[in-house]
Structures are given as C-alpha cells and as structure tokens.
Structure 1
Amino acid sequence: MWERIFDRVMSRLVQTGELTVNYPDGTRRRYGAGGGDRAEVSITDTTTLRGLVLRPDLTMGEGYMDGRITIAHDNIEGLIRLILRNRFREAMPLWVRMVARARFRLGHLIQRNSPVRSKANVAHHYDLSNDLYQLFLDRDMQYSCAYFTDPTVSLDEAQEAKKAHIAAKLRIEPGMRVLDIGCGWGGMALTLARDYGARVVGVTLSENQLALGRARVAEQGLEQQIDLRLQDYRNLAEPFDRIVSVGMLEHVGLPHYGEYFSKVSDLLSQDGIALIHTIGRTGPPAAQSEWINRYIFPGGYVPAMSELAPAIERAGLWTCDTEVLRLHYAYTLRHWLQRFDAHLDTVRATYDDRFIRMWRYYLTICYLAFEEQDQAVFQFQLAQRRDAVPITRDYLYADDSAPRAMTDTAAQ
C-alpha cells in the first residue's frame, strides 16, 4: 500500500529534472520529465516509505542518518536541490500540509523557551565539543554568517569583514560599554575590545563556549576589558552604550520577541545603538523544519521580517537601518562543509558515521535554503533616537582615515 501511495505522490511532485527511486522490493522507478537536476535514492524498508509519505521532512533526514535512505554518490545536494526546485513543500499532499500548519500554529508552545529550557537547547548543539567546531570554523570561531566583499575571499577574511561591518554600524568609540548577547567563543568581544577599545560584557548559555572564550580573553590579556558570563540576557539590568547580538535571535523563539526587544530597549542608553544580526525569511512565516528542530536546533525558529517588525515597534526602538545579506550565508556554509569534509578522519576518531551523516546533511540543507528558498540574513540597526547614526550609509564605506567627528558633523 505505501509503495503505491509513495509512487502516486512522486509522480505528481516531480515535474522537472529526474528522480530515480529504488524501492525495498527491488522495483526501480523514474519520475520527472528528465533534463536538469538528477538524483537517485534507495529506500531499504516499507516503514521508511510510510514515513516519507506522512512526515517527509523528518523521515528524509532520519532515514539518511540511519542509512535507511541512501543517495547515489552521496549526492545530498543534488537530491535536495531537485526537491526544492520542484517545490515539494507547497505541493505536498493535504495531510502533510495540515501537519505543517498545525506545527506552525503550535509554535507559541513549541518555542516557549524559558531560561532553563533555553540553556538545555543551547547545550544540545553548542556544547558538543569545542574541538569539533575548531575543525571547520574560521580561526576566530565565528559560528554565524560571514560577510563576503567578494565571493572568492577566504572564510577568515569574510569573517573579519563581518565583524568590521558590524563595528562600523555600531560606531564604537574607545571606552564604550558594549553588551554582546550570545557571545559564543568570544570572537566579537575580543575584536571590539582589542581593536576598538570597548569594554565588553558577553553573555552565553553554553558552558563550553564560556570556558574557551574566557581562556582566549586571558591569553590576549584583555581581562580588564572583557567580562564573559554564563547568564541569560533576560537577567541583565545594566546600561550599555552599544548592544550587539549575532546569530542568537534564531534561538529566542516566537513567543519571546517582545521580551527580547524590550530588554534591548531597556538596556540601551539614550544615545545607544544596537545591531541585531539574524537569519530570517524574506517570505511569509512558515513552520520550521521538524528535522532541524529535533536534531540540530531544538527550540529554534527562523523569523519572517513581518514577525520581527511589530516587536521592534512595541519596544519603542528606531529602526535606523535594515540590511538584507543574500547568499553570504550560503558561501559561509559551503566553506564549513568543505572544512568539515577535509577533517573527516579527525571527526571519526570521536564521532560515528551516523553523526557525520547528520552533520553533512545539516550543513548541506542549510546552504541550499539560502540558495533556493526564501532565507537570508537580516541586520537591524536599532536606536533610541532617530539621529543616533548618520542619515546615510556613506559612513560605513568612508575612508578609515576620515575623522569620526567630521562624519558626525556632516550628518547633523
């Protein structure tokens, strides 16, 4: 029965390209008009077929991880790109779309991230192993979208450019007190303290990140300028001249956006500037991937801009600038996958093949989301006052030798 249902579904869904499916009973069928994207999969059992019909997103990821679904030449990219270009999500059978809608409507319950739950969610992903992340991240361990001034620059150069771009938007001055919400391994804090003279408080819920971050601060002799804490941002009550948050809003959860931006507003001085960097949807809100939520980022959610704007408005903050970074994260993720693959022998010394398949699948579907779907990165520059920053973006690209005061005067 499940073979017949799956066959009918695939016959309807695959319109462009060609998908070859090897069924558990040895039957081999081709779907699609041919030409363009091609992929071939083998399914080992009927239970997996049933899962692909009822819960395709979760079953596809689990099946690949467990070896119940194999992809010819391990071409994950080819298969997922074919699926995305055929718009499987929009054309899925009614029962699949109903489950997705139900999950989306239950988002306020699924993403109810209390401080205790938030810490557990963070530990699930970020406390795996510092050694693992050091294998594929840049030398400063930036686990977020880089800024590619040119697609050919190295990952290290692009991550340095990202931090410089953010610092320019923050208009950091020596001695300013800066809050880094979700400070990771301390890279942004180190950059702002060492290169811009800031005094930085960084908060994280990851014990592994905190330990390495503090070690890096001590190694560079910046203990007097940087204070990294194991603390939930909701428990802060100190004023800051600047607030930066890179790649953390994705973990806040839809029910907490009002709380998050209100806290940013409460902590930000009257002359202050905040820069919030987050993955976002350029299209309407949608349910998060069930597989991603279960295996990679529990409690996570990628917001649409329409879901963020009301919370920013209610917090009374001025949106001084909004920048949408397109394809930058796709380039970043491709670099990460290449580096991960280059260190597979080292990874295998600690992790099994199931973990490796999970991680490769995660990185691949993520860069394809930025290449084929409506995902991008948003940078919101927020302030209490409309004139907290110059009225054009020219200052971001001005000659570094130009005095800051001249830029300020020209903007007034």
Structure 2
Amino acid sequence: MLFDRILSRLIRRGTLTVRYPDGRILEYRGTDGPGPSAGFELRDWRTVRRLCSNPTLAFGEGYMDGGIVPMGCSLYDMTDLMVLNMMEGGGHPAEKVMEWVRWGRRHLDQLNPASRARRNVAHHYDLNGRLYALFLDRDRQYSCAYFPTGEETLEEAQLLKKRHIAAKLHFDRPDLEVLDIGCGWGGMALHLAREHGARVTGITLSTEQLDVARGRAAEAGLSDRVRFELMDYRDWKRPVDRIVSVGMFEHVGIDHYKTFFRTVKGALKEDGVALIHAIGRSDGPGSTNAWITKYIFPGGYSPALSEVLPAVEKSGLWATDIEVLRLHYAHTLAHWRRRFAANRDAIQSLYDERFCRMFEFYLVGSELAFRRMGHMNWQIQLTRKVDTLPLSRDYMLDAERKAVACPREDA
C-alpha cells in the first residue's frame, strides 16, 4: 500500500499509530531519535488516496470532513508529530512536487490589485464579528502579541505589543498625525490617540472591521482624533508624521512590495517614522501552504526578510531598526487556541462543526509554523532621513518603561 510506504519513510522521530479504513492498525516508529507519540484513524479510502497525491491540502481537509480523526491524542499532538517529521527531512514525494508547483505559481497567486485585495480580505475578516470576540483579547488584536517573559496574560501581552510598537514610532510630541495601514478593529489607532495624543486615520478593506472600529471610536469619545476609512493603501496621497502597519503586509503580495514601500515613502513627511510589523520566515523565500491559501488567507504570503529588504532599499527609505520576534506568535496562538476551545459551542452556533474543525486546524497549524517551521515576526522601522531618530535605541526602552510606570490604559 502506497500510503504505508510513505509513512514508513516519513516517520523518523517518535511513534505514529494509524488505524486504516479496513480496521488494520499499523505503527510507525522513528529510528533517528526520541520524539512524541500520536495516532489517527483514517475512516475512508478516498482520504487515503488524496493523502498520497496532495498531502498538505488533504490532511487539513481530511480533518475538516471527518476522514482523519485523532486517535488517543489531541489534534495538536497529531499535527505536531507530522510537522516534526516533515521538517526532519522525511518529506513526502508528492508534497515536494506540489511545493515546486506552488513556487511556480506564487507570482500569479499573489497578484493583488485593489479589487482582488478586497475580496481576499473579505474572505477572512468579514466573518461574523462575534467569532473574533470569542477567542481574541478584549481589544481584538488579531496579530502577534509581545511576551517579554512568556508568562504574561493575553491581555497583558497585547497591550505590551502596542506599547512596544508605539515606542519605535517615537512620539516625541503630541498631535502627530498617524496613518494606520490595515487597522483591523481599531485597537492600535485608539491606543495611539489615547496614550500619545495622536491624530490617527486607520484604513482597511474589511467592511466588518470598519463598522466595529468606527463604533469603538465613538464609544471611546475619540471620534475627533481617530477616523477610519474603507481604503486601499495605494490610494493614500497625503503625507503624515507616522505610519504604522501591523499584520497587513502578509497580504500585499510579492509583486507589490516595491509599490508598498514607495507608497510609505511618499506618505511620510521628511522627518517621519514608519513601523511595519509582519509574519516572516527564517529559512528564505518559500510558498504558502495550499490549505491556508484555499481556506484561510487567499493571496497571503509570509516573506523572508531577504525578499523585503531589496524593496526597502530601492524605495530610498532607511531601515533604521529591525527586530525579529521568534516565539511570541506561538505563545499568542496558544492563547487563541485555548480560548477557541473554551468557546467552541458558541462558535459552532454561529457556523457549524466543519467550520470549527477548519478554524481549529488553522490555529494548530499556525502555532506549529512558529514552533517547528521557522516562522517568526519581524518589525522594521523606517525613515526618509538618516538623522531623524536618536543615535541609540535607548529612547525605545525609555518610552516603554515610562508607559509601564504611568499606565493610562488597563491591561
């Protein structure tokens, strides 16, 4: 049986137990060292055949449709064992072929004119608003939190993330004008207005996020300092003092990086500062997982810094600070995964069982991407001029310490 031979080659560490549709139970033991144990049941031969021909897509779809069921373990344990062995070099012949296909298609898949960008955003961000309230923090920060020790609560870590980014934006005077590209539900924009006296315009392509953000600004009494618009970043024409973009760059598309950074440069005043925060990969250029592309983020891609920095250089901007956040998103996703599980019944009432399985697989796979597969977050600080900012990073640390000592926003 082909799938049996594939698993015999794939499992190099740990032990995988598989129950096949005919009732046979086979065990695959790795010989390259210790590892975790897990198992799953394959409930139909169609799932087995699909795992042989398109494993990355079929594994996620198999779990969603009930053709793959964890056996004696959790979804996380099952997926972790498979990911560990894929990364150890066992590989899957068909997956290697599909990786080449995805690589060849990636420029086409990430072609992202404004009309397509809006459709891609709507696919994930225009879901029922209650969904995100059931597993995110109170501020609905849908991006990597900041865990200095790893012991912070989700609310604490998301507040620290906002402070960390604000410190890099260098609010050295009140009333600075800020452009928030990809503003989500408005949390960062409201924070900058409340904590730093900034005047902020947040832009998004999600109608759901736009409505929530506008309502939050009004409720907070900040509508005179914060406004939100349904707008593509390429349509922004007016220079501002600061630009922030958190978790949006993954949706820009590799053929549009030059346009993005040219737009940032054009939108910054001469003494302006920008901070871009995004997911990246540590092992160089790649392609997006087929299941993620189909079900979660069509057109999305997490780039290596080697793909980003050439576009920064060509734009004429200064990269004045670069930070890599390694396991911070893994901690964030673990919090989201636990909150999703705690509220699963409520989420199922909004959608259905298949949707819950899809989202569970997304959260587990994403967490493992940061724990096992070389994903990370990067933050790049940008200026137009070489002398815009102080000579050392001390001002960032001072700003964060001041925010902790004199908090104005509850964690």
What TM-score results when the alignment is normalised by the length of structure 1? 0.94
Q: Aligned partners of 1:216 and 1:273: how far apart in 2?
A: 26
3-state SS of 2:134 partner:
helix
Give the direction of change, closer, same or farther, for the CA distance of 1:401–1:65 in structure 2 (3 Å limit): closer
For the Cα contact (< 8 Å) 2:11–2:85, is it kept in 1?
yes
Report what 2:357 is aligned to. 357
Q: CA deviation at 1:399?
A: 6.6
Q: 1:60, 1:318 → 2: CA distance? A: 43
- Is 2:137–2:155's contact at 8 Å kept on the other side of the alignment? yes
Aligned to 1:18: 15
CA shift, 1:387, in A, is: 1.8
| TM superposition shift of 1:212 | 0.5
For residues 158-188 of structure 1, what are the alpha-carbon distances to aligned partners after superposition, in whole Å with 9 as ceiling and x for unaligned?
A: 1111001111100123111100000000001
RMSD over aligned Cα atoms: 1.5
The offset of 1:283, in angstroms, is 0.8
- What corresponds to 2:407 in structure 1? none
State the one-letter code of the partner of 2:85: N
Q: What is the CA distance between 1:341 and its match in structure 2?
A: 1.1
Counterpart code for 1:324: V
SS of 2:23's partner is coil
Structure 2 residue matching 1:183: 3-state secondary structure: coil
Q: Counterpart of 1:144 in structure 2: which amino acid?
A: S
1:88, distance to aligned residue in structure 2 (A):
5.3
Structure 2 counterpart of 1:153: 152
Aligned positions of 1:103-142 closer than 5 A? 103-142=102-141
SS in 1 for 2:301: coil
Q: 1:162 maps to what in 2?
A: 161
| SS of residue paired to 2:398 | coil
Residues 97 and 116 of structure 1, relative CA distance in 2, 3 Å threshold? same
After superposition, the Cα gap between the structure-2 partners of 1:90 and 1:300, relative to the gap in structure 1 and judged at 3 Å, is farther
Q: Counterpart of 2:55?
A: 56
User: In the TM superposition, what whole-angstrom CA distance separates every residue of 1:83-114 from its partner, at most 9, and x where no partner exists?
Assistant: 22213585434443122112112111011111
Change (3 A) 1:262 1:52: same
Aligned twin of 1:256: 256
| Matches of 2:211 and 2:92, distance apart in 1 | 48
Aligned mates of 2:254, 2:30 — CA distance in 1:
40
Deviation at residue 286 of structure 1 after TM alignment: 1.2
Q: What is the distance in 1 between the residues matched to 2:86 and 2:97? A: 17
Q: What is the match of residue 99 of structure 2?
A: 100
Report the residue type matching 1:397 in the other structure: L
Partners in 1 of 2:304 and 2:53 — Cα distance?
A: 26
Query: How far is the alpha carbon of 1:73 from its aligned partner?
Result: 4.3
* Structure-2 change in CA distance of 1:399 and 1:59 (3 Å): closer
Residue matched to 2:288:
288
Question: Deviations for 1:337-388, whole angstroms, at most 9, x for unmatched residues?
Answer: 1111111221122121111111111111111111111100000001111222
Deviation at 1:329, TM superposition (A): 0.4
Change (3 A) 1:295 1:400: closer
| Contact 1:261-1:311 at 8 Å conserved across structures | yes
| Alpha-carbon distance in structure 2 between the residues aligned to 1:241 and 1:399 | 18
Deviation (angstroms), 1:319: 0.5
Deviations 1:243-270 (A, max 9, x none): 0000000111111111111111111111
Q: Percent identity?
A: 49
User: What residue number does 1:174 align with?
Assistant: 174
Provide the C-alpha distance between the structure 2 equivalents of 1:93 and 1:221, rounded to a whole number of angstroms: 56
1:151 partner SS? coil
Contact residue 239 and residue 267 of structure 1 kept, 8 A: yes
Residue in 2 that maps onto 1:388:
388
Q: Structure 1's 112 and 399: CA in aligned 2 closer, same or farther, altered over 3 A?
A: closer
Contiguous gaps of at least 5 residues in structure 1: 403-412
Letter in 1 for 2:123: H
Q: Which amino acid aligns with 1:98?
A: V
Counterpart Cα distance in 1 of 2:27 and 2:142: 40
Paired amino acid for 1:167 = A
Say whether residues 1:208 and 2:208 are aligned partners. yes
Relative to structure 2, which stretch is displaced further, 271-280 or 256-265?
Answer: 256-265
Distance 1:400 1:81 in 2: 36
Q: Which residue of 1 aligns with 2:77?
A: 78
Structure 2 residue aligned with 1:330: 330
CA distance in 1, matches of 2:197, 2:279: 28
Secondary structure at the aligned position of 2:229 is classed as strand
Matched letter for residue 366 of structure 2: C
Deviations 1:258-288 (A, max 9, x none): 1111111111111011000000001111111
8 Å CA contact 2:38, 2:72 repeated in 1: no
Structure 1 residues 126 and 269: CA distance shift in structure 2, 3 A: same
d(CA) in 2 for partners of 1:282, 1:36: 24
Q: How far, CA to CA, are the matches of 2:362 and 2:83 in structure 1?
A: 15
Superposition TM-score, scaled by structure 2 size: 0.94
The DSSP-based 3-state class of the residue aligned with 1:273 is strand
1:308 match: 308
